[in-house]
Amino acid sequence: MIELVPRSSTGWRAQLAAYALALVLGFTTSALLIAASGASIIEGFGALYEGAFGSQEAILQSLVAATPLIFTGLATVIAFRAEIWSIGQEGQVFAGAMCGYWATLYLGDAPGLVSIPVIILAAMIGGALMGGFCGWLKTRFQVNEIISTVMLNYVIVYLLSYLLAGGPWTEEGSTSYHQTPVFTDNFHLPLLVDDVKLHIGFALALVAAAICWVILKKTPLGFEIRALGFNPTALRFKGVNVTRTVLIIMCISGALSALAGVSEIFGVNHRLRGDVMTGIGFTGIIVGMIGGLNPIGAVIAALLFGALANGSLYMSVLSDIPPSLVPAMQGILLLFFLTASVLVRYSIKFKGPAHV
């Protein structure tokens, strides 16, 4: 008889081995799929590698794709470590982009040195308010955060739709299309590398990851976040204001997600539209989980996802693999990763049959 026994702690070596195994199994299964389709496995994986890490340009493109996922992954880490199951990252990405855009309406020709910090600050406030609102509903009215965050995801998407499609943010000359005009240059996030659109959002994401790590490991707030996840009752008896802690966590998580919206809209697309942000928040949840709810792990997972996204694009264009197989492969890899992230927390025990 096989029994899964939870481990008291999981070392980084075990996690690394589990994810490496997941990678191998995921690629093996994908290879079988490619072979079944009649396409060349070598050509397909060659294109995937080329897109992910094959050149400096490809690596930088992978970093661009990873940037928003680092933010939403970190947002997940902060909330989930406290066992606050916020699914609101998706909506908070939108809220951040929207508040950032709202700020631009008042910034006019302000130079980038002024406008960019204001946009970032406005976005973080927007995301924090949205996260904090769900935290308030949870602490004040015991509203389950899963319900409130999911519902607010819908609300914010439809608010953006109202504003963009015939509302006050509609692009001039267009009676109805879900996008704003293109931003002027002073609202573009400065580039770290020209031509590839690797912008300062990436550097900000790394700084945010470092700050999150420090908060979680080295500060009283970090202790409270972790303790809230382990035993909120004990924390309350210790004299900690749990309501305040929940609100802070939700605000931080919301602000981090909002930065993903800023990164994608002001760093890459340079106009506000909903469809380019879809999925960033939900993918961030997976990134956070695969990263073992650790800030550094989330960064690594986001980089992997970014590389996979860019590699998949190269695979679609440069190989003869049927287009529908590429997302299927991404799904297979994801399944193996998620399975590994769960299984690594358990040890397998073999027991003999019980004798009465």
- Residues of this chain that interact with another protein (CB under 8 A) are 61, 64-65, 157-158, 161, 165-166, 174-179, 182, 197, 264, 268-271, 273-276, 278, 309-310, 313-314, 316-318, 323-324, 326-327
> Contact at 8 Å (CB) between 68 and 202?
no
Place of tokens 């308030």: 136
Nearer to another protein (CB atom), residue 139 or residue 269: 269
CB closer to another protein, 213 vs 266? 266
Report the residue number, 117 or 167, with the smaller CB distance to another protein.
167
Shortest reach from residue 242's CB to another protein, in Å: 36
CB 200 within 8 A of CB 208: no
Q: Tell me the H-state helices in 38-144.
A: 41-53, 56-81, 89-107, 112-141
Could you give the 3-state DSSP secondary structure of residue 5?
A: strand
Cα distance between residue 315 and residue 114, in whole Å:
41
**Comparing C-alpha atoms, which of 40, 273, 261 is closest to residue 176?**
273
Residue with Cβ nearer another protein (250 or 325):
325
Q: Taking the complex as a whole, how short is the minimal distance between the CB of residue 127 and another protein, in angstroms?
A: 20
Find the shortest distance in angstroms from Cβ 327 to another protein. Answer: 7
Hey, what's the torsion of the CAs at 342, 128, 126, 74, to 10 degrees? -30
CB 65 within 8 A of CB 309: yes
- Closer of 296 and 318 to another protein (Cβ): 318
Whether the CB-CB separation of 93 and 76 falls below 8 Å is answered with no
Reading the block at residue 55, the tokens are 């050149």
Instruction: Report how far residue 212's alpha carbon sits from residue 130's, in angstroms, rounded to the nearest whole number.
Output: 20
Minimum gap (Å) between residue 196 Cβ and another protein: 10
Q: How far is the CB of 223 from another protein (least distance, A)?
A: 40
Tell me whether residue 177 or residue 230 sits nearer to another protein (CB atom). Answer: 177
SS3 letters across 172-197: CCCCCCCECCCCCHHHCCCEEECCCC
Secondary structure element (H or E) that encloses residue 331, with its range: helix 325-343
Select 225 or 313, whichever has its Cβ closest to another protein.
313
Tokens of 268: 């890459």
Are residues 187 and 115 in contact, defined by beta-carbon separation less than 8 angstroms? yes
Closer to another protein by CB, 226 or 271: give it: 271
DSSP character at residue 273:
B
- 8 Å CB contact between 76 and 252: no
Least separation in angstroms between residue 161's CB and another protein is 6
CB atoms within 10 A of CB 271: 15
Minimum distance, C-beta of residue 323 to another protein, in the bound complex (Å): 5
Beta-bridge partner residues of 4: 348
Minimum distance from residue 313 beta carbon to another protein (Å): 6
Minimum distance, C-beta of residue 41 to another protein, in the bound complex (Å) = 19
* Nearer CB in complex with another protein: 92/310: 310
